[in-house]
Chain A
Amino acid sequence: MTGGALRPYRAIISARFRMLLQYRAAAIAGLWTQLVFGLALIMIYQALYRSSPAAVQPMAFAQLASYVWLGQALLAMLPWNVDAEVRDMVRSGAIAYELARPVDLYGLWYARAVAQRTAPTVLRAAPMVVFAGFVLPLLGAADWQLAPPPSLAAGAGFVAALAAALALSCAISVLVNISLMWTLGSDGVVVLFTTTVALLSGLMIPLPLFPGWAQGALGWLPFAGVFDLPFRIYAGHLAAGDLAIVLARQLGWTVALIALGRWLLGRGMRRVVVQGG
């Protein structure tokens, strides 16, 4: 026999990845939007920081700038949208073919999500990092820049936490895709979810800036594990020593959400198959 047990899933990831790399126009448009968004956010926070004493700020401005830029650079990694291919399959009924494949269905969908979360990120992250990390200082806006991590440990910790964030983000993405089976591709649920994720992950407002009473809940929700926790490790806002607890939270949520997704997918498939008797 050739190939291991993972051969089908690897093949799906690689094929979807290559397909998604073709969407370069969307990547360029997204890049521009995120650039403007990043600059706007940073200017707003700068005004905010200047109007109040530094002593009460929950994170240093330089840390905040890095946090904002990471969010913009890695936006496509956030589980904020549905997989267009899955949406079309649910609408057309071609989803029946998914069950006709000799593979674990959840594994297949998780593999799709891995491609969905990595391919667009690869396209967008590098130019954003170049702009925020190198172009901005050259333009004389060094205080707005994406600074390198304060230590090697912070950098290494960020890489580990980002890998776990990807695993978690994919588990959430599969859940969003599964929701299509109940909503039949209507966008209502997704819009609601997009806003929720953007807010609770720290994309719009870095989570440390939320009021104290909200911190506990935000930190324990799964969304913090996707953006906020890895970003704070990068910026040195969380010590590298906190990495273990960050990873534990991320992976704990990943396991729980995979279990939930498996259960829901089984139920959803029974529903969808009815379409078109």
Chain B
Amino acid sequence: MPQIVVEQLVKTYQVAERTPGLWGAVRGVVRRRHRTVRALDGVSFAIERGELVGYIGPNGAGKSTTVKALSGILVPDGGRCEVAGRVPWLQRVAHVAEIGVVFGQRTQLWWDLPVIESFELLRDIYRVPPARYARSRDRMIGLLDLAPLLDVPVRQLSLGQRMRCDLAAALLHAPAILFLDEPTIGLDAVSKLAVRDFIKQLNRDEGVTVILTTHDLDDIEALCTRVMVIAHGKILSDGALEELRARVTRERWLTVDLVDPGVAIDDPEAAEIRRDGHRVCLAFDPQVVAPAELIRRITSRHAVRDLFVENPPIETIVARLYAAHGAAGDTGAGAP
């Protein structure tokens, strides 16, 4: 039986709408109009023990709502959800004792306390026995290189340092499941790599199930064997990253820095999608034309300073996924 089962989960919010202007504000005091937003509109999936699943989608798609429902913080309006045999919001205390949560934009550490004191506080809050605490603390300190940070008050940490400490804080009680909500947001390249390495290692060595929401497709590519895409409260795609790409588009982008900015690149198998001074971005299908062949053709015809090939960013993939599902507008966001 899967560790996490979600079936037809529904959550709607009432959002107060204000009419703009002074008269609107005055009317708003007396009577507010409400709009219903379906943050989750029949979400279903199952996750096995030890999986590392990426969960992506644009802002407001329902990612955080799902994570909050799974972590017992939020009560959905309908559907079924079981994590390790428990309904998170009904058995909240027992449930949260066995999960770890990191919300990337917020810290769970105590702002004014040195890091180590936050850890000790969490040890007491989670009632971790001293010997077990000492073991997992030392392990985290080693894996995340925290030794120089332990006596620093949290408010003095850089974002990258804080995120490493937050990860450790979420794992001191050795949870079987870890929910990470945008753990790499705002981090510099070095910190991102450190966080990714750690997550990977944790999943591989300890079999911790990880659910990771992110806007950074590189996180997904580096970590996840499986990616779920949500938009307008519905799961649009669930499978390996390559499957998702293949389903949505085979397109790849070639960015070329030309010596002469005025030149047009006319290639029947590459479409210009953007031009910014010397820089031209072309889209092509690698199954129609091999990247090496395309590069050879272009460099033989034009003076090129630099070039690189990349996958279209997550925004593009997801935007096309909407289009493919006929949800390009805002139709799924709920009727007034």
Contact = CB atoms under 8 A, between A and B. Distances in A.
B5 to A, nearest CB: 20
Contacts of B106: 92-94, 96-97
A103 B93 CA distance: 6
Contact of B113 (A19, A88, A273, A274): A19
Given A97-B103, A270-B75, A273-B73, A15 B96 contact: no
Interface in A210-257: none
A96 B93 contact: no
A102 B99 CA distance: 10
Contacts of B120: 11
A105 to B, nearest CB: 9
B1 interface: no
Nearest to A4: B127
Interface string B108-138: 1011110001001100111101100000000
Contacts of A85: 111
B210 to A, nearest CB: 16
Contact of A11 (B71, B93, B107, B125): B125
B219 to A, nearest CB: 20
A22 B153 CA distance: 13
B65 to A, nearest CB: 6
Contacts of A273: 68, 73-74
B274 interface: no
B8 to A, nearest CB: 19
A50 interface: no
Nearest to A20: B112
Interface size class of A (residues with CB under 8 A): 20 to 34
A270 B92 CA distance: 14
A101 B125 contact: yes
Interface string B45-69: 0000000000000001010110010
B60 to A, nearest CB: 6
B289 interface: no
Interface in A132-160: none
Contacts of B68: 96, 273
B262 to A, nearest CB: 47
B121 A12 contact: yes
Contacts of A22: 112
B108 A2 contact: no
A1 B127 CA distance: 8
Contact of B121 (A15, A97, A100, A276): A15
B110 A100 contact: no
Interface in A16-47: 19, 22
B176 interface: no
B101 interface: yes
Interface string A80-124: 000001001000111011011111100000000000000000000
Contacts of A15: 110, 113, 117, 121
Contact of B60 (A88, A104, A274, A277): A277
20 contacts: A2-B127, A11-B121, A15-B121, A19-B113, A85-B111, A93-B103, A93-B105, A93-B106, A94-B106, A94-B107, A97-B101, A100-B72, A100-B96, A101-B126, A102-B93, A102-B96, A270-B75, A273-B73, A274-B13, A276-B64
Interface of B: 13, 39, 60, 62, 64-65, 68, 71-75, 92-94, 96-97, 99, 101, 103, 105-108, 110-113, 117, 120-121, 124-127, 129-130
Given A7-B127, A85-B111, 5 more contacts: A8-B124, A11-B120, A102-B96, A102-B125, A103-B125
